[in-house]
Amino acid sequence: MTDIIYAAERIAQLRKEIEHHSHLYYIEAKPELSDYEFDKLLEQLMALEQQFPDLVTPDSPSQRVGGAITKEFVSVTHREPMLSLSNTYSLGEVEEFYNRVKKLLALEGVNEQSMVAELKFDGVAISLLYRNGFLVRGATRGDGIQGDDITPNIRTIPTIPLKIIDGGEIEVRGEVFMRKEDFEQLNESRPEEERFANPRNATAGSLKLQDSAEVARRRMSFVAYYLQGISEEYLPHLKRLERLEELGFFTGKQYRLCRELHDINEFIAKWSEKRWKLPYETDGVVLKLNAVTQWEKLGATAKSPRWAIAYKYPAQQAPTVLRDVIFQVGRLGTITPVAELEPVHLAGSTVSRSTLHNFDEIERLGIMIHDRVIIEKSGEVIPKVISVVLEERPSDAVPVVVPSHCPECGTPLERAESEVSYYCPNEGECPAQIRGRLLHFSSRNAMDIKSLGKALVDQLVAIKLVKDAGDLYFLQEPQLEHLERMGRKSAQNLVRALEESRTKSYERLLYALGIRHVGRATARELSRAYPSIDALIKASEEQLSTVPDIGPVVAHSICDFFAKPSAQHLLEKLRDGGVQLSASESTVQVNRNFEGMTVLFTGALERYDRQQASELVMGRGGRVVNSVSKKTSLVVAGHEPGSKLDKALKFGVRVVSESEFEEML
Ligand code: IVH
């Protein structure tokens, strides 16, 4: 009894501390704890809650790590329709809007009007519902009347309070978005062909994921811009934004009260450049009447309120000159044409390079060297060449020639039939590929070796001190000291960083190996199903295909990778160098009760979904299959099993119920 009382007190104290530091970190951007210290607090809380599950509450910060799997999102009706805004790209139309509102209000006998100008965040609109202070629902806009209930995913977003100090039924609307840095990190962790084009797409895709633990890893943010249901029915909008902040929401704080049209124009002009310096993407300015009493007077059309408008900044474009096209060789040998541009100022930075993606893109643009081109920055973080000014083609324009040989190592290039890209087949020796693999190995989603940057990798490869990641673990300080821009201290730092990286998680290592199509998420699934590299190497393509998320293409790529002598050498060196090649104790499953067994699930289980059940089997050494044969070791039959059960019985395969299965676990 005293234990639980003590635990309850400690839990309350930890939650308060975590919430406080979370607010400092995410909302105020003034952290007082290191990430490590913060994680330790969260770990303590989770350990206590695990010990005393009755003390878990829905508003506990532990609930943000996700875990719930939603099979299908339920449709819910909004308290009031979620309208959109009328959009304009023209300052003239903003003026018309301002004058129209003035006239309409004058008809109602109102002669004072002030507007709140806010930044328009580029994300996905969401409605949050709080009852008696607790977050009870998070929903997408959907068709404006009904949206999807995505509460488990919403709970994972750190800037969304799980509890607020205000009773009754409160609705908060705003935009879920991804900070540029979080977006880049997410994209870095994904195989190239699965990368998102911009933070908005990444956000939209992530909010719809069924696995909320994966949503939690995606690091999304929320900005609040609308509050309803408070007791002061007519609290002006500006005050509502301030109230949202008091309740713990992030608003961005870049709003301003505008009494004259002049103030609005000033706000728009000020942010047209300044917005590029923000850590997230904004695409315009939203103007809202400040007096909520006036909202009612003006009303709304079917689509949008008459008391607000969104001004969108025009896409940022600039003309420049294509000086040259160079060809970069990636870590997988792919040749990417890159435009070298006359430096030009665009969207808050100077642009002198831009990817042309592949040779089809060059053909599509019809681009020639020395052409005048237009570059654009819209939703994407990196600007791109969008067109050629053909009328201004100079007489010395030169066609872009597809190289026949690798610009790095001179090997003749090849092109796979189904692919748009050329590649250098000299995997083992091409210095560009070696450098690319090393940089991938040390990148932040992989082994995160900060002191091993591009300049150092260039040198290590150039003087042939390092040929693969395995060589890194045999580097000695004296070899490094005399390299350019190194010295004693830097050499020591690198050796220490490498030492630390030896114990990085097995999951990170799997990703760091740079297997084609294997991003962080796939590496995680692999590390669960095969908790050691030795087990993974032995897995067949067919076996790998049963791992969640892994299809035949990825399975093939994994087997292909491990079959190569170069991979075997690399793994030997990593092993000799002391790198961790299996999951640590805490992540390894408790037993190997399903070692060597093939298991088939049929019908619906009550306590697990298919994926969870499969993971439990695989984590214990078993394999999950989709069809029954005489060789199948076990069939787990849930509710309404299919014809597979009949087959199993016919073959005399052992059949168990869900509870028997649980016992076996
Ligand atoms: S107000 C009735 N404020 O942009 C109130 N919307 O193009 C409707 N958006 O539908 C929304 N930043 O998804 C509002 N500061 C802001 C906004 C904002 C981004 C989004 C929102 C809206 C769309 C209109």
Q: How far apart are CA 640 and CA 376, in angstroms?
A: 56
Q: What is the average pLDDT across 566-589? A: 85
559-563 LR contacts (CB < 8 Å, sep 24+)? 560/516, 561/513, 561/515, 561/516, 562/536, 562/537
Q: What is the largest CA-CA distance in the chain?
A: 89
Q: What is the average pLDDT across 316-327? A: 95
Report the predicted TM-score, pTM, of the whole model to 2 decimal places: 0.82
Residue 85 Cα to ligand 1 middle (Å): 6
Nearest to 83 by CA among 214, 238, 225: 225
Mapped to the 3 state alphabet, what secondary structure does 216-269 carry? Answer: HHCCCEEEEEEEECCCCCCCCHHHHHHHHHHCCCCCCCCCEEECCHHHHHHHHH
**SS3 state of residue 643:** helix
Q: Report all structural domains of the chain as residue ranges with CATH numbers, in order of start.
A: 2-64 (1.10.287.610), 77-312 (3.30.470.30), 316-399 (2.40.50.140), 431-501 (1.10.150.20), 506-576 (1.10.150.20), 598-664 (3.40.50.10190)
For a ligand 1 pocket test, name from 178, 225, 228, 311 the mutation site with the most ligand atoms within 8 angstroms of its C-beta: 225
For a ligand 1 pocket test, name from 121, 122, 124, 228 the mutation site with the most ligand atoms within 8 angstroms of its C-beta: 121
The predicted pLDDT at position 255 comes to 98
pLDDT greater at residue 238 or residue 359 = 238
Range from 393-397, 490-494, 566-570, 585-589 carrying the lowest mean pLDDT? 585-589
Q: How far apart are CA 610 and CA 411, in angstroms?
A: 47
Tokens representing 402 are 């597809």
Active-site hit among 40, 71, 102, 120: 120
Residue 254 Cα to ligand 1 middle (Å): 15
Residue 155 Cα to ligand 1 middle (Å): 21
Nearest CA to ligand 1 atom 2: 83
Residue 120 Cα to ligand 1 middle (Å): 6
pLDDT at 506 over 50: yes
Tens of pLDDT along 512-552? 999 999 999 999 999 989 999 999 999 999 999 999 889 99
Nearest CA to ligand 1 atom 21: 125
**SS3 state of residue 387:** strand
Tokens representing 117 are 């100008």
Nearest to 349 by CA among 318, 322, 313, 305: 318
Asked if residues 24 and 32 have their Cβ atoms less than 8 Å apart, the reply is: yes
Nearest CA to ligand 1 atom 10: 84
- Residue 312 CA, closest ligand 1 atom number: 7
Tokens representing 374 are 């237009």
- Residue 120 CA, closest ligand 1 atom number: 12
Nearest to 120 by CA among 280, 234, 284, 272: 284
Tokens representing 205 are 């895709």
Nearest CA to ligand 1 atom 16: 120
Query: Please, where are the H alpha helices in 464-588?
Result: 469-472, 477-481, 487-501, 506-512, 520-529, 533-538, 541-544, 552-563, 565-576
Tens of pLDDT along 591-642? 778 888 889 999 888 877 777 788 778 777 788 888 888 889 999 999 888 8
Tens of pLDDT along 45-79? 999 998 898 999 989 999 998 888 888 899 999 99
What are the φ and ψ backbone dihedral angles of 323, each rounded to 5 degrees? -75, -40
Ligand 1 environment, Cβ below 6 A? 83-85, 87, 118, 120-121, 125, 175, 225-226, 286, 305, 308, 310
Task: For 408-434, give the DSSP string.
Answer: TT-PBPEE-TT-S-EE---TTT-HHHH
pLDDT greater at residue 132 or residue 625 = 132
What are the φ and ψ backbone dihedral angles of 507, each rounded to 5 degrees? -60, -45
Share of the chain above pLDDT 70, in %: 98
Nearest CA to ligand 1 atom 18: 120
Q: How far apart are CA 216 and CA 156, in angstroms?
A: 5
Mapped to the 3 state alphabet, what secondary structure does 289-326 carry? Answer: ECCHHHHHHHCECCCCECCEEEEECCCEEEEEEEEEEE
Q: Could you give the angle at the alpha carbon of 101 between the alpha carbons of 100 and 104, nearest 5°?
A: 85
Q: What is the average pLDDT across 426-436? A: 97
Known catalytic residue at 647: no
Residue 282 Cα to ligand 1 middle (Å): 11
Residue 390 Cα to ligand 1 middle (Å): 39
Nearest CA to ligand 1 atom 4: 120
The predicted pLDDT at position 332 comes to 94
For a ligand 1 pocket test, name from 120, 140, 203, 278 the mutation site with the most ligand atoms within 8 angstroms of its C-beta: 120
The predicted pLDDT at position 663 comes to 83
For a ligand 1 pocket test, name from 80, 84, 119, 268 the mutation site with the most ligand atoms within 8 angstroms of its C-beta: 84
Nearest CA to ligand 1 atom 1: 225
Nearest CA to ligand 1 atom 9: 120
Average pLDDT, the chain: 92
The predicted pLDDT at position 662 comes to 82
With 0-12 / 13-18 / 19 or more C-beta atoms within 10 angstroms meaning exposed / middle / buried, residue 640 is exposed
Tens of pLDDT along 159-209? 999 999 988 999 999 999 999 999 999 999 999 889 998 999 999 999 999
Q: Could you give the angle at the alpha carbon of 614 between the alpha carbons of 69 and 54, nearest 5°?
A: 50
The predicted pLDDT at position 570 comes to 97
Residue 261 Cα to ligand 1 middle (Å): 20
Tens of pLDDT along 101-128? 999 999 999 998 999 999 999 999 999 9
Residue 165 Cα to ligand 1 middle (Å): 25
- Residue 82 CA, closest ligand 1 atom number: 2
Q: How far apart are CA 605 and CA 635, in angstroms?
A: 12
Q: Residue 589: which pLDDT band, with cuts at 50, 70 and 90?
A: very low
